[in-house]
Structure formats: C-alpha cells, structure tokens
Amino acid sequence: PLSIETFNYASYHNLDEIYDFMDLLAAEKPSLVSKIQIGRSYEGRPINILKFSTGGVKRPAIWIDTGIHSREWVTQASGIVFAKKLLDGYGKDASVTSILDHFDIFLEIVTNPDGFAFTHSKNRMWRKTRSINSGSSCVGVDPNRNWDAGFGVAGSSGNPCSETYRGPRANSEPEVKAIVDFVKSHGNIKAFVSIHSYSQLLLYPFGYTSKKAADAQELDALAKKAVDALSSLHGTQYKYGSIITTIYQASGGTIDWTYEQGIKYSYTFELRDTGRYGFMLPASQIIPTAEETWLALKVIMEHTRDHPY
Amino acid sequence: TENFVGHQVLRISAADEAQVDKVKDLEELEDLQLDFWRAPVHPELPIDVRVPFASLQGVKVYLESHDIDYSIMIEDLQELVDEEQLHMSRRHFM
C-alpha cells in the first residue's frame, strides 16, 4: 500500500497520485496537516491546499503555491517535497519548528488542476487553464496574467490564442478567484511565494509597472540572502530582482496582486534549469531542485518570522 | 494526444533590439504554431522557442537570412516526452 514512506519523491506524478498523496499526508499527522478545498476548477476539479498548523486562530501565515503553469512539472514535484519536509521537520528541524510555532503554512501543490491533468492526458506542453473562450477556438487563460494588478496593461495579451492571454476580466479564472477569496478571507498572510520554472530566477514586484515597490530594498536584500542559500547546496546560479527589470513587463501577475494586498514578502521563483531541458527537466533533478529551493524558502520564511509587520 | 515528433526547441540569441523585433515578427505568425518557452524581450536574455516539424525549415531559413544566431536546445521533443512517460510508468512497477 502507498504510504508517505513508499511514495516516490524522485518521480513525476499525475493529478490523482498527488491528490492521494495529500490525503496520505493529512492522515499521517492530522494534528499538524489538514487538507482544505478552496474552490473548484473550471472543469469542476477540487482545488485543494494543505494547511500546516500547530494551533492558534487566524495566525499569521505563509502561502506557497506551485504549478500555476501546468507544464512546469518540476514545480508540483517540488511542492510534494516541501510538504514532506514540513511534515518531517516539525519537532526535528529547529527552523521549521520555530516557523510553525508562530505561523500557519498553506501549500497549494496543483494550482492549475485542469491544465495539469491535460498535460498528462493530451498535451504535455499545456500552460494555461482550460476555460473555453467564447468566440474563439482557442482554449485557456494564462493564470499568471489574470490577477487584478495592472490587469490589461502592456505585458499580457488580449488574444485567446496567445500563451499569455489575460482572460476576459480579472479573476475570470476560478483557479485564480479561489486564491483571491482565500487570501482576502484569511487576511493575515505575511508571505506569498508562487513557484514557476524555468530560468533560475528569484523575482519580486513589480511586473506590470516600472514603479519600484516601497519595500524594494528589503526585498532585494532578502532575495540575495535566499539565492545565496540556494546556491550553497549544488552551486546552482540564480539571478534576482524585480520582475520588470529582470525579465520583462508582465501584467496581471500573482505577486503584484499579493503585494498590493499588503503581503510584503511576495516572491516568484523560476526553478531549474536555464535552458538545457527547460520544461522537460529530467526526474533525476527533482530532488536536488527541491532541496536547494527549500533552503531559499526557509530564508524567506525565517525573515518573515523575524520581521513581523 | 498531442505528438511532438520532430518538434525542436531552438535557443535564439538576438544580437540587438532589431533582431529581437525580427523574432517578435515570427511570434505574430500564428500558422507557424510557435510556442515561446522564453519570450523575445531584449538582447541580454535568450529566447527559447518550440518549433513544430512543419515550421522548422522556414524558421531556420528566416533566422539565418537575418543573421540571427540560434542553437538547438532539444533535438526531438517527443524523445524527452517518451523518456518521461517511461520513467513514470517504470516507477509504477517499482
């Protein structure tokens, strides 16, 4: 029988296996882990997140999501490893224990379930959601252009056939709306990390405007610290900076919205690699990628813990 | 199921803004079915694009005729997809 110990963390998994894994995790340590459904995808799949909590009510919280772009398989696979590290770490790893003694952690491993299922069934290269665009034969919206932050300005497309199609309106995608509603109803999230691949970058707001974030200096210093920690494990080199200065103008993006909601520590990772395999990163690189990223995540979580606001 | 036999992923290195714009012109041609893994933005950043087999010849001629440097990042995408599927199915029987 499948168990937390026999689960193969060094392999890619399909949607059912990941959802089964989430149930295993919640069953393994119900005092620490619970599964919450925050909505339903366009095609009706449950949108599930894991909550790691050691008690308290409406405690300050940290949010991590992976897989918003469905073809970026190393991100969902890394999310599974992060979940295991949180489960194992509490009570053993001083840093994880201290963070969980003060914060709840929410982890959404499959942020775009319809798209992810489609990469396993029909098209491995699928990136967007699977919503039907009226008046077009092209399907799907880019869920990282659909947020209400600079929505519709330069940095996204109005063409439903484009991979960066912003959608008919902000939050049109149930996968995005579910997170928006959760963040607003929770109201006490202090750090928000959305994980993509590839390019090996650590990015902070803004993407839709060249206006500097009010906390840009602190975010930049923290990004450097996180990237140094990441590189210390396998020497993987990352660049860091604001989205618009480091890569390009991108509007309607997740962390621009979370930052404008007041979540200061808003970051996006672009995991391995820099362009040998791209989205087809071999499964042999799942564990090393997740391990190095975990070091950077811990730096961000520790900083959040030590700098209440 | 989408088949990627013969699809290649090219890494394009634009020398200047003008060459970036030339690549952006390609992006507009929907018939080519290009899938930009890394969008054409500015010369410092590499451009990665998945090119279906049917468009490969035309795209390469276009790049070469504009002296735009490129290399082949992935020779045949379907091979990697097959490898990945094999690894996953093998894992099922471990």
Q: Which residue type sits at B23?
A: V
| Alpha carbon separation from B37 to A164, A229, B12, B73 (Å, rounded) | 11, 27, 11, 11
Convert the pLDDT of each residue in A79-109 to its tens digit: 999 999 999 999 999 999 999 999 999 999 9
* d(C-alpha A250, C-alpha A230), whole Å: 25
pLDDT number for residue A57: 86
Give the nearest chain A residue to B36 (CA atoms): A163
- Active site (annotated) includes residue A270: yes
Asked if the model's pLDDT at residue B32 lies above 90, the reply is yes
Q: Please name the residue that has the structure tokens 């599927």.
A: B85
Active-site residue, selected from the candidate residues A72, A175, A270, A302:
A270
- Substitution target in B74, B75, B83, B90 with the highest count of A β-carbons within 10 Å is B74
* Chain A hits for B2, Cβ within 8 Å: 122-125
Q: How far off is chain B from A199, nearest CA to CA, in Å? A: 9
* d(C-alpha A287, C-alpha A274), whole Å: 17
Nearest Cα neighbor of A204 from A263, A153, A163 is A263
Rounded to 10 degrees, what is the CA torsion of A234, A240, A246, A250?
A: 100
- Substitution target in A6, A11, A145 with the highest count of B β-carbons within 10 Å is A11
Nearest Cα neighbor of A140 from A121, A168, A120 is A168
Q: Which residues contact A136 (CB under 8 A, 6 or more apart)?
A: A160, A161
Bond preceding residue A206 cis, omega within 30 of 0:
yes
Q: Where does the pLDDT of residue B30 fall: very low under 50, low under 70, confident under 90, or very high at 90 and above?
A: confident
- Let me know: does A173 contact A133? Beta carbons within 8 Å: no
- Helix, strand, coil tally for chain A in percent (to 5): 40, 15, 45
In this prediction, residues A26-50 reach a mean pLDDT of 98
Query: Helices in A141-263 by DSSP H: which ranges?
Result: 174-186, 216-234, 243-246, 254-260
Question: How many beta-carbon contacts under 8 Å exist across A and B?
Answer: 60
* Chain A hits for B80, Cβ within 8 Å: 277, 280
Average pLDDT value over all residues in chain A: 97
How buried is A270 (Cβ within 10 angstroms: 0-12 exposed, 13-18 middle, 19+ buried)? Answer: buried
Q: How far off is chain B from A36, nearest CA to CA, in Å? A: 28
- Let me know: does A293 contact A96? Beta carbons within 8 Å: no
B56 touches chain A (CB under 8 A): no
Q: Which residues contact A270 (CB under 8 A, 6 or more apart)?
A: A196, A197, A198, A199, A200, A201, A202, A203
Query: Is B91 in Cβ contact with A280 (below 8 Å)?
Result: no
Query: Is B38 in Cβ contact with A124 (below 8 Å)?
Result: no
Query: Is A163 in Cβ contact with B80 (below 8 Å)?
Result: no
Query: Is B83 in Cβ contact with A282 (below 8 Å)?
Result: yes
Nearest Cα neighbor of A289 from A303, A279, A302 is A279
Convert the pLDDT of each residue in A216-244 to its tens digit: 999 999 999 999 999 999 999 999 999 99
* d(C-alpha A20, C-alpha A119), whole Å: 18
pLDDT number for residue B92: 62
The percent of residues above 70 in pLDDT, for chain A, comes to 100
* d(C-alpha A182, C-alpha A63), whole Å: 11
Residue B43 gets which letter from DSSP?
Answer: T
Convert the pLDDT of each residue in A198-220 to its tens digit: 999 999 999 999 999 999 999 99
Asked if the model's pLDDT at residue B93 lies above 70, the reply is no
